[in-house]
Amino acid sequence: MPKQLSAAIITNVVKDYVNAEDTAHAIMLDGEWGCGKTYLWKRTIAPAIGEQRCLYISLYGLASFEDIDNALFRELTFLGSTDSGGTLSDMLNKSSAGIGDVRLGGIGSLVAYALQQWKKRTIKHSDKGLICFDDLERWSGPPHTVLSYINRFCEREGQKVLVIGNYKAFMSQVGDAVGTSGFRKTIRFKYKLQIPAEHVLEVAASSCSWFPPDASTYLSEILEAHKLRLTSFIKRFRIHNIRTVATTLHYFLVTQQANKALFRNAKLQAVAFLESLLATMVLLNTEEPDHGLRDILEDPDCDDHTPLLKGFASLQNALGKTEFEQLTRCAIYSQSRVGITSLVSRGTYIAEEFQTTLQQWEALDAYYSYLDETHFYSLDDAQAHDLTKKVTEGVLQRREVTDASLLLSLLDRLLQDIREKAISTDESELLESFRRLFEELVKNGDLEPGDTSVAVSIVNIPSQFAEAIQSLLDQHKSANRQLGARRFWDSLASQSEPEDVAALVALNREEPLFIAPTQVILSRVEALSNPSLAALLSALADRLDAKSAASAREAESEAASQVAAALMEKYGSLVGVREANLRRLSTLLATDGATR
C-alpha cells in the first residue's frame, strides 16, 4: 500500500471497515496539520457512510473519560430527528422506562443508553455506525486514557471508530508512556492523507464559499485559466497544507473585493500576487518562526534576508536549496510586497496600506495586458498600436520596468508579434535598444532579481544578442553573489554560538563564500571566539567533501587561495591555540585550491 493515499481510496477503506462484520480495533486518518483531514471527513467520508450513522467528537482540550462522555452525550442528544420524530434529547426527556436508573448511573450510563437508542432508532438496529474522534494530538490528558476509552468501544462493544490526527505529533508527546505496541493494540491501521497537488486549490477554494457570488466566480475563473501555472507552483514547492492555501485565498479575495476593477483588468498581476502571497504564507506557517524571522517577512523595507536561511532549515532540507531560494524570492521580491506584508501582519485588508501596491499594479497594467495574448489579439488595430506604443515607450524611454524576467517576457512577445506582422517595429533596432537597456540597468545596479530562468533560453532572438544579454545577466548574478558572500561573512561575525556558525555554513555550502573582499573575510573570522572558529573549520571541512558544493568552490578557488595566503602571512609565526586555528583555516583553503 502506498505511503500516502488519495481521498477516494481512504473513503473506500473507511466504508469497507464500517461494513465489515468483525473488527475489534479502530482505524486512523493520519496527516499533518491543515492537510485536509477534517475536510475529508465532513465533505466526503460522513456523507458516504450516511450522516445519521456518524458521530463526530473533537478531542481538542479534553482530558478525561468524563470529558469524552460529556462531548459524546451532547452530540448524541442533539443529533437530529429520529424515526418517531424529535431528537434523542426529546426522547430522553419523555421516556420514563428505565431512565431513572440510567440517570442514577451518571453520565457514563447516559452515554451508553443514548448510544443504544442511536443504534436502535437511527440506524435500524444496526451496529455499523461510525464514531469519529478528531484532533488526537490535541488531547490534553494522559495518552493511555484516550486510547483505553477508544479500545473499550472497539473491543467490548464492537463499535466502529475512526480516529483523525497527526500520528507523529501524538507519539512524540506520549513517548514511552504508550509505545507503538500500545497504540497498535487500539488503532490497528492508519492511512496517511495527502491531497494531490492538482486538487489542493479546489479543496481550499471550497472554504471561501461564503464570499459573494461574484468573488467565487472570479476565483473560479482565475484558478481555471491559470490551473497549469498554479498547480506547477504547488507541486514545485510541495504545498499540501489546505489551511495555509485556504487562508491565502481568503486574503486574496478580500483584496479583490476591495479592488474589483483592477483585479479584473490585471489578471496576470493578480496571479503573481496570489503566488507571492502563498509563498509568504508557506514561510510563516511551515514552522513557528521566531519574532526576528516574522519581522523580516512582515517588513516591506527589510533588505537583509539572510536570517531566513538559518530560520527555515527544515523547509530548505525538504525543498532543496535552489527551490527554497526561489520560494523565498517569490515572497520577498514581489512587486506587491508592501500590500502582502500588510495583509499577513494585520490579518485583514487595509486600503491605506495597500496604496503603494495598487499604484505599482496600475503602473504595470499595460505590460501585463500586453502579455495576455488573448486580450491583445482581441483588440482592433488602433488599440493594439496604442498598447504596443505604451509598452515600448514605457520600457525603453521611461525605464518603468526593471524586472529581468518581465523584460525578457515582453521582448519575447514583441518579437513574436513583429514576426507575425501584428505590429510594425524594426526587429534589429528593438534588439539593440533592449541590449542597451540591460547594460544600463546592470551598470547602475537597478536590475531587479526576477526569475531569469525564463531567461534567454526561451526568447527567440539571434544567438549573438542572446549571448550579450546572457553576459549581462551573468554580471548581474556575479554582483549578487558577491553581495551574498559579503552578507554571509557579516552574518557569521554576529553568531555567538558555535552551532549557529556551523548551521550558517551548512545553509550556504552551495554558494561561493570566499569571493568577498579578503580584508572583510579576515576581519569577520578574527571576530569569532575560539569555539566558533573551531566550528567554522569543521563546517568548511565538511563542505570540502560535499559534491553539491563543488561548483561553488570552483568559483571561489582563486579568491580562497588569496585568503589562505593572507592568513598565513599574518599568523604563520605566531604562537597560540587561536593562531593555530587560523593557520589550519589557511591550510584548508590552500589545500582546496591546490586540488584544482
Residue 443 amino acid letter: K
CB atoms within 10 A of CB 426: 10
- Do 404 and 373 meet the contact criterion of CB atoms below 8 Å apart? no
- Residues 424 and 505: their CA atoms lie apart, in Å, by 53
Convert the pLDDT of each residue in 154-185 to its tens digit: 887 778 899 999 988 888 877 655 666 778 88
Instruction: Please give the pLDDT value at position 451.
Output: 47
Instruction: Please give the pLDDT value at position 561.
Output: 92
Residue 183, helix vs strand vs coil:
helix
Instruction: Please give the pLDDT value at position 505.
Output: 87
Averaged over 495-514, what is the pLDDT?
84
Q: Is the pLDDT of residue 433 over 90?
A: yes
| More confident position, 31 or 93 | 31
At residue 575 the predicted structure's pLDDT band, cuts being 50, 70 and 90, is very high
The span from the first CA to the last CA of the chain, in angstroms, equals 48
255's enclosing H/E stretch is: helix 242-258
Rama region for 212: left / alpha / beta (φ>0; ψ in -120 to 50; rest): beta
Report residue 558 as a C-alpha cell. 582563486
Q: Which of 308-312, 474-478, 487-491, 571-575 has the lowest mean pLDDT?
A: 308-312
Report residue 302 as a C-alpha cell. 527589510
- Residues 66 and 145: their CA atoms lie apart, in Å, by 11
Residue 289, helix vs strand vs coil:
coil
- Residues 337 and 280: their CA atoms lie apart, in Å, by 9
Identify the CA nearest to 359 among candidates 329, 341, 330, 336: 336
Instruction: Please give the pLDDT value at position 590.
Output: 86
Report residue 258 as a C-alpha cell. 476591495
List CB contacts of 375: < 8 A, sequence separation 6 or more.
369
CB atoms within 10 A of CB 446: 10
List CB contacts of 344: < 8 A, sequence separation 6 or more.
251, 277, 280, 281, 284, 297, 298
Convert the pLDDT of each residue in 302-332 to its tens digit: 766 667 766 677 787 778 777 887 788 788 7
Q: Is the pLDDT of residue 106 over 50?
A: no
Report residue 334 as a C-alpha cell. 514581489
Convert the pLDDT of each residue in 117-133 to its tens digit: 655 555 554 556 889 99
- Do 266 and 369 meet the contact criterion of CB atoms below 8 Å apart? yes
- Do 32 and 166 meet the contact criterion of CB atoms below 8 Å apart? yes
Averaged over 548-574, what is the pLDDT?
90
At residue 544 the predicted structure's pLDDT band, cuts being 50, 70 and 90, is confident
What residues pair up with 132 in beta bridges, in sequence order?
A: 56, 162
Q: Is the pLDDT of residue 265 over 90?
A: no
| More confident position, 387 or 447 | 387
Instruction: Please give the pLDDT value at position 289.
Output: 58
Instruction: Please give the pLDDT value at position 84.
Output: 47
Q: Is the pLDDT of residue 78 over 80?
A: no
Instruction: Please give the pLDDT value at position 299.
Output: 76
Q: Which residue bears the cell 497498535?
A: 184
Instruction: Please give the pLDDT value at position 132.
Output: 93
Residue 421, helix vs strand vs coil:
coil
Instruction: Please give the pLDDT value at position 472.
Output: 79
- Residues 100 and 171: their CA atoms lie apart, in Å, by 42
